[in-house]
Structure 1
């Protein structure tokens, strides 16, 4: 099969579905990921995927300013609303749809697979009359469906009109053919009423990954805490001041905790944190897939990539959720007993220290995470996606073509 994958050009979004790309490619299918021209080289070098450049970068400083201004001024809901307005706009969804249609003139895919906040591939598939598959990388339920009537549907209806298509359906059109989840139903989407398939999450790996040397040097009589607050928020210049405040409170707490800390601290923040205690080890980037299996606690923002990773490794969490799917994921972890949730708006060092001590001392958090891990392991391997995709392309999957 010829499979075109469309994704918003953010590395965390690519990581959300790159293992599916690997699974299909490993079975001999022609899989190409549509990316900005300047992404083709490094994405192939680091992840080994075949790419097709579709023009200049379409996510820019203007978009970042808009969404993080909304977050700082109006909170998480305003961020989500602004993000969906941007992602369904002419300069994002409209641009990608046009470029994909140009690609299809000389390389026509049998199916388009797209992540849940990327709508250009979906629109192009509708024009071409081919199946489309949406992969939940996190915000599907929390943002895309939640804002469908208010934001997504009006935006997509305008784009569809420009492409000669009927208005966007009352129910999200991206769910019409096939939805892919890489979480067990015990975690989310248990009542999903669309064609839904689940596969076991595999931790995505970059070709340059190596376990940090410090791992082998840590004392064996102390728990290991791994800190990573994701990439989008902490790396945003518009959000940097707030991120810095949160890092100060986290490191104040971890300085008082009897543990070893491995912290992913983006290089922009290094000048502010040069005098941390010796048990706190920071580095600009940490290979999460190689570190998680060695740690006792994961402090995270709660993005679905990180949640799937921590479930797969059976590691309990302390969660500081910011926006999009983070709050819902963090709430679900707390409900399932795998972690403790802290509000990043009101967080104090006392909150962080108490949460870490609680999760490290109470073995029920580890047991709950390991129970969820067993449900994850019971899911089919991602190679099963090829068969489901084949049945979809051949029109044999229930629900295909339903309006």
Structure 2
């Protein structure tokens, strides 16, 4: 997710000091592994990495940019275009904070994979609250660029939240092209589970592997959005990740959960490069630890297992997906020109007045909830 929703928190001052002072490497040296935490055991990474480490796989990280000179990322990152086009450059506080962390989380799981960084947002604004530059969707453009430039997996730890969650035709079309090229797409489910629980895109689009966040112990993190589009879940609390200014810090959110899952997909593809997106999804869901009933809106099919997924990718289930001819009713009326993702404006004054009054009340309620939530988060950070 964007920087507001990553809920960054260093687990202890001593840990932060130690990690930040780890020695830097020369440009020709191998990357320094990002320190592993509880997520390594939860995912079964040691066993998975004995089988595959992401060799030959490129993961496109669509985010706020990636600092290529971080010790954990040296020699691993190719930088693509900046589709956000706000004039910011590396070194600005709003450039690369979130993206650098997410890229390091991918490589924590798949250390021999490569990263294609495509900038589609900044580190200050939430998509939805501030859509950024006008024009075509930066996310849609980023997906198309990744498809055309060798990405094997597309990782998007981002999404629209609160008042701005929205469906975008250009993004849907770009995702269709990714599916046609056989590229799995992973996205974070959203961090609104403890407030308004708004839907988040791109996680909500068909075909996207939407990842919920787990806390230690394997249960859902309180902030993780609860939606029927959730596919699987992965660790997302106090995940040590690279800082864009150097060193490491712990972060929480469905963002690291999605990045770690993208790394698992990279392991699967390096073990079996013929996997289709449908097979990737099937293997992840079948090898996950299912909740009662098989799946639910909290964690989808449950916590993923990197080791089990990589082993199962050698012999995946058959891909039964194929184009299907539409056999429904035929409608011969001419299109009326109304976009199918929006509604025509209301024309009733009384409804407008009622909505205005309701909106004022809703804003008061929202303010109270946000203040309460902020206080709760501050208390947790101080504790």
TM-score bracket for this pair, using the shorter chain length: 0.3 to 0.5
**Of Structure 1 and Structure 2, which has the larger fraction of its residues in helix?**
1
Please give the TM-score of this superposition, normalised by the length of structure 1: 0.33
Please, what TM-score do these two structures have when normalized by structure 2? 0.34
The structure whose RCO (Cα within 8 Å, separation 6+) is larger is 2
